[in-house]
Chains A and B, each alone.
Chain A
């Protein structure tokens, strides 16, 4: 991330701060649903804010993840493999964001 160090640094801290309440909510609210049956989990998602917060958790989490994974790649991987891994890193982050928006939409409006 040449010439973008400061904005990346600030964005990493900003997403970290936002993730403090989001992760606490996730720990309290989501883990018990992961192995629940479909009816129970959909009833959970239909409650106000749950589907929305799940999408926000995925979006902010993916943004924070992309920066952190990029740091690890930059430290250990060089050459063409670095380009491939960075592309996969971006792809994974965008997939998590898009999937979060899609899921929130389906669970809120189309379910």
Chain B
């Protein structure tokens, strides 16, 4: 079958138009952001692992890791990680709600997508101020 010239090879098949023609919607953006924040959170948990190991070992290893978190880059990463956790948590609640078969109507899904963007920004501000205040 692989040698049959009338059967197109998988790589040679024409693609249906997709990325070029989709109208931007907030539900689409939230879906992409859910993935992006999930990957970011994976990077974040590796940093938390590094910190937990450094805390256990102590010494220069801990000073290096905590010094990194105290640096301007470390601060930006922490602020970003607080938001990516907030977004993924709130949008995760949206997914769990969908799993019950509710909230799937286009208008409702758009409304909750906006709510997750605004809510995650507010949530991040609250938790950043809590972390900064301690």
Instruction: Please list the residues of chain A having a beta carbon within 8 angstroms of any beta carbon in chain B.
Output: 13, 16-17, 19-20, 23-24, 26-28, 30-32, 34-38, 41-42, 45, 54, 57-58, 61-62, 65, 68-69, 72, 92, 95-96, 99-100, 102-103, 106-107, 111
Contacts and interface: CB of A to CB of B under 8 A. Distances in A.
B130 A72 contact: no
A99 B96 CA distance: 29
Given A17-B96, A58-B49, A107 B131 contact: no
A38 B61 CA distance: 10
B45 interface: yes
Contact of A13 (B66, B69, B96): B96
B127 interface: yes
B59 to A, nearest CB: 8
A62 B45 contact: yes
Contact of A38 (B38, B48, B66): B66
A106 B48 contact: no
Interface string B28-70: 0000000100110110011011011101101000110011011
Contacts of A20: 89, 92-93
Interface residues of B, number: 38
Best-surrounded residue of B66, B82, B93, B99 (most CB of chain A within 10 A):
B66
Main secondary structure of the interface of B (DSSP, over half): helix
A69 B58 CA distance: 31
Contact of A19 (B78, B89, B133): B89
Contacts of A102: 53, 56
A85 to B, nearest CB: 12
Interface of B: 35, 38-39, 41-42, 45-46, 48-49, 51-53, 55-56, 58, 62-63, 66-67, 69-70, 74, 78, 82, 85-86, 89, 92-93, 95-96, 99, 127, 130-134
Contact of A36 (B39, B66, B132): B66
A104 to B, nearest CB: 8
Contact of A96 (B38, B49, B70, B85): B49
Contact of B78 (A31, A96, A99): A31
26 contacts: A16-B95, A16-B96, A19-B89, A20-B89, A23-B85, A27-B130, A30-B48, A32-B133, A34-B51, A34-B74, A35-B66, A35-B69, A38-B66, A42-B58, A65-B38, A65-B42, A69-B38, A69-B42, A95-B49, A96-B45, A99-B52, A99-B53, A100-B52, A103-B55, A103-B56, A106-B56
